Structure 1
């Protein structure tokens, strides 16, 4: 197992707390950052889950930026910037990598995927080289629904032996498409890829060979069925009328 972990692309991230001047200032005041020390990543899939506003996306963005990805998303070759809103957190992170280097990778931000699609079209209009969109399925991502565009990315662009950092990928996907995503993740994991995913989806976080961190005051390793997301969804589905009555008649 240790040999396997040594060969994974990203092993650990550590917050250099000694370099932080104050944990009362953004982004260090966020719950996820304030309680971050060291996170060990699973060789295959690591999930980060928790409530909105805790700072999961900020941490994921900082990890991706520290890895060399564009803060707005895309591969490491993307350098566009529509608005400089990313935090300085990445400067305070120390990454421990394995001996292997990924052949490729992608940072997906659901909120800025539109900007990635736009940049692909701009680069294709300007260049005489083979079209970038061909590696995304050949059809403009803007001519597809958000969910179709993401599936085109997942199926056509993603490949084995790569590192993928995904922030709430379920945002554009129906439940059945989330299951399609699970199948594709499994294919890519079997081909040597590693995933780090922030998600609210009980479907996606069901991937069995994984590690789940749940943020509740601190990062805790939890089992799938022990996550609040799973328990709330199970309770709602199994007791829909009762739950609706509680929600609508407090």
Structure 2
């Protein structure tokens, strides 16, 4: 289900990296909206603005959201990791407190980053429905197998009425969907973005394909 129909950047500022965003840019929202691009291009900043309903954005809502409202959930892979976040502050996708407690926080120190992300992102997605889910690099630490599981869980959640906004560098995820490139400021096929990224040299110039 589409909950947020259109997003337009109407203003930028010096705060939170917003100066890198393109004023006046707008895009039609789909069920799964992937924000892609190089480091520092504004992916996380734009997600945070969407999550906060920033005054710098003009967000067009679906009719059912205007009349009934909608729940949204924002997960930042770095800040929401139990290694760095107060374990009592977690909230699950079902809206219930999901504090893992101090024993759980201590135990997490002995688990891999990927195992923690599997518990904090993949497992809760099974219960997500009729909401907006905002994820910042959910693939971080996940194995290739679990990256493909992430795609499966996202697709299943979409069937349950969820809409996703995701900042990502995940190759399988990008390959599976259309993407919003904040390098090119347009929507394109994920495979086209991968092709452009592959053709770009490390110094930032385009590769010479004349031969």
Give the 5 Å matches for 1:47-86: 47-66=34-53
CA deviations on 1:219-246 (whole Å, 9 max, x unpaired) are 111112211368639xxxxxxxxxxxxx
Cα distance in 2 for residues equivalent to 1:39 and 1:99 = 18
Give the 5 Å matches for 1:47-126: 47-66=34-53, 90-101=54-65, 104-114=71-81, 118-121=85-88
Q: Name the structure 1 match of 2:162.
A: 193
TM-score (ref. length: structure 1)? 0.62
Alpha-carbon distance change, 224 to 28 in structure 1, aligned in 2, over 3 angstroms:
closer
The answer to whether residue 11 in structure 2 is matched with residue 11 in structure 1 is no
For structure 2, which runs of at least 5 residues remain unmatched after alignment? 200-211
Q: How many aligned positions are there?
A: 184
Match of 1:153 among 90, 99, 120: 120
Q: Name the structure 2 match of 1:221.
A: 187
> How large is the Cα RMSD of the aligned pairs?
3.1
Q: Which runs of 4+ in 1 moved over 4 A?
A: none
Larger radius of gyration: 1
The answer to whether residue 98 in structure 2 is matched with residue 133 in structure 1 is yes
**CA drift at 1:165:** 0.8
Cα distance in 2 for residues equivalent to 1:133 and 1:180 = 22
Cα distance in 2 for residues equivalent to 1:140 and 1:180 = 24
TM-score (ref. length: structure 2)? 0.73
**CA drift at 1:99:** 2.2
Q: Is the 8 A contact 1:224 1:230 kept in 2?
A: no
For structure 1, which runs of at least 5 residues remain unmatched after alignment? 1-6, 67-89, 125-130, 234-250
Cα distance in 1 for residues equivalent to 2:195 and 2:123 = 30
